[in-house]
Chains A and B, each alone.
Chain A
Amino acid sequence: MDWGKVKFFLGEVLRNFTRNASMQATAIGTVAITIVILGVFLFVRGELAGVGTQLLDQIEISAYFAPNATAAQIDSVRHAVAADPRVASVAFVPKKQGLSELRVRTKDAIDTSTLTENPLPDKIRVRVRLPDQVPAVAASIGRLKTVDNVVYGQTIVQRLLQLGDVMRRVGIAVIAIFLFVAGIIISNTIRLTVYARRREIAIMQLVGATNTYIRMPFICEGLLDGVIGALLAVAVLWVARATLWPRMLEALPWIGFGSTPIDLGAIVAELFLVGAAIGIVASWISVGRHLRT
Chain B
Amino acid sequence: MISLRGVSLVYPNGVHALDNVTLEIAKGDFVFLVGHSGTGKSSLMKLLYREARPSSGEIVVDGIRVDRLKSSRVPALRRHLGVVFQDFKLLSDKTVWENVAFAMQVTGAHTRDVMRQVPRVLDLVGLSHKSRMYPNELSGGEQQRTAIARALVNNPKILLCDEPSGNLDPSNTTEIMELLLRINLKGTTVVVATHNQAVVDRMRRRVVRLEDGRIVTDEERGYYYLGLGQGQVLSG
| Residue count of chain B within 8 Å CB distance of chain A | 27
Chain B residues positioned under 8 Å from A206 (CB to CB): 49, 78, 83, 89
Bound-state CA distance A15–B91 (Å) is 13
A200 at the interface (CB under 8 A from B): yes
Contact of A203 among B72, B75, B91, B114 (CB under 8 A): B91
Q: Closest Cβ of chain A: how far from B63's Cβ, in Å?
A: 16
Bound-state CA distance A200–B107 (Å) is 13
Chain B residues positioned under 8 Å from A204 (CB to CB): 102, 106
Chain A residues positioned under 8 Å from B209 (CB to CB): none
B150 at the interface (CB under 8 A from A): yes
CB-based nearest B residue for A3: B111
Q: Is the CB of A208 within 8 A of B111?
A: no
Q: Is the CB of B102 within 8 A of A203?
A: yes
Q: Closest Cβ of chain A: how far from B106's Cβ, in Å?
A: 4
Q: List 15 A-B contacts (CB under 8 A).
A: A3-B111, A4-B111, A4-B112, A8-B111, A15-B93, A203-B103, A205-B78, A206-B89, A207-B78, A207-B102, A207-B103, A207-B107, A208-B154, A209-B106, A293-B74
A210 at the interface (CB under 8 A from B): yes
In B72-120, which residues have CB < 8 Å from any A CB? 72, 74-79, 83, 89, 91, 93, 102-103, 105-108, 110-112, 114-115
CB-based nearest A residue for B91: A200
Q: Closest Cβ of chain A: how far from B159's Cβ, in Å?
A: 13
| Residue count of chain A within 8 Å CB distance of chain B | 21
Residues of B within 8 A of A (CB): 49-50, 71-72, 74-79, 83, 89, 91, 93, 102-103, 105-108, 110-112, 114-115, 150, 154
Interface of A is mostly: helix
Residues of A within 8 A of B (CB): 2-5, 8, 15, 199-200, 202-211, 213-214, 293
Q: Closest Cβ of chain B: how far from A132's Cβ, in Å?
A: 52
Known: A2-B111, A213-B108. A207 touches B79 (CB 8 A): yes
Chain A residues positioned under 8 Å from B72 (CB to CB): 211
CB-based nearest A residue for B106: A209
Contact of B106 among A3, A4, A214 (CB under 8 A): A214
Chain B residues positioned under 8 Å from A200 (CB to CB): 91
Chain A residues positioned under 8 Å from B83 (CB to CB): 206
Bound-state CA distance A204–B89 (Å) is 11
Contact of A208 among B79, B93, B114 (CB under 8 A): B79
Q: Is the CB of A210 within 8 A of B110?
A: no
Known: A204-B106, A206-B49, A209-B107. A199 touches B89 (CB 8 A): yes
Chain B residues positioned under 8 Å from A213 (CB to CB): 106-108
Q: Is the CB of A208 within 8 A of B110?
A: no
Q: Is the CB of B111 within 8 A of A5?
A: yes
Chain A residues positioned under 8 Å from B103 (CB to CB): 203, 207
Q: Is the CB of A208 within 8 A of B76?
A: yes
CB-based nearest B residue for A292: B71
CB-based nearest B residue for A209: B106
Chain B residues positioned under 8 Å from A202 (CB to CB): 89
Q: Is the CB of B89 within 8 A of A207?
A: no
Which 10 A-B pairs rank lowest in CB-CB distance, beginning with the nearest? Answer: A4-B111, A208-B78, A208-B79, A209-B106, A207-B103, A208-B75, A204-B106, A210-B75, A8-B105, A293-B71
Q: Closest Cβ of chain B: how far from A239's Cβ, in Å?
A: 39
Bound-state CA distance A205–B102 (Å) is 12
Q: Is the CB of B111 within 8 A of A203?
A: no
Chain B residues positioned under 8 Å from A211 (CB to CB): 72, 75
Bound-state CA distance A210–B79 (Å) is 10
Q: Is the CB of A4 within 8 A of B114?
A: yes
Bound-state CA distance A5–B109 (Å) is 8
CB-based nearest A residue for B49: A206
CB-based nearest A residue for B85: A206
Bound-state CA distance A4–B118 (Å) is 14
Bound-state CA distance A202–B88 (Å) is 12
